[in-house]
Amino acid sequence: QVQLVESGGGLVQAGGSLRLSCAASGGTLSSYAMGWFRQAPGKEREFVAGISWRGSKTHYTDSAKGRFTISRDNAKNTVYLQMTSLKPDDTAVYYCAAEEETLTTRILDYDYWGQGTQVTVSS
């Protein structure tokens, strides 16, 4: 069973950048499409970005387009989310997730989840 561990969150000022990492153990990430999700206080978890198992396809929610970049290094069993031009509305717990079949935005399609990393953007 794949275990996912996120890191890289923290406190940053508006306009700043962070790079989140998602490291896997117990399995190889090259078999999975990967997604980043986030959940702000009082809100539902939402899709942010996803990448196909080979890295050839990516998909972003509208709020992330042009600011966030998802990437993966299958040799390192790690997926990244580079976030730039951060806004206070980006404040949330960020989760990575693995999906055994295909890139999707649907939360219920994802099979494995990390515990999340907090991102706080101050104004």
pLDDT at 44: 97
pLDDT at 112: 96
Q: pLDDT > 70: what percent of the chain?
A: 100
Mean pLDDT of the chain: 96
- Checking if the pLDDT of 4 tops 90, the result is yes
| CA distance linking residue 8 with residue 98, whole number of Å | 18
* pLDDT, mean of residues 43-59: 96
Within 8-111, strands assigned E span 10-13, 18-25, 33-39, 46-51, 58-60, 68-73, 78-83, 92-99
pLDDT at 27: 86
pLDDT (tens digit per residue) in 11-24? 999 999 999 999 99
pLDDT (tens digit per residue) in 57-95? 999 999 999 999 999 999 999 999 999 999 999 999 999
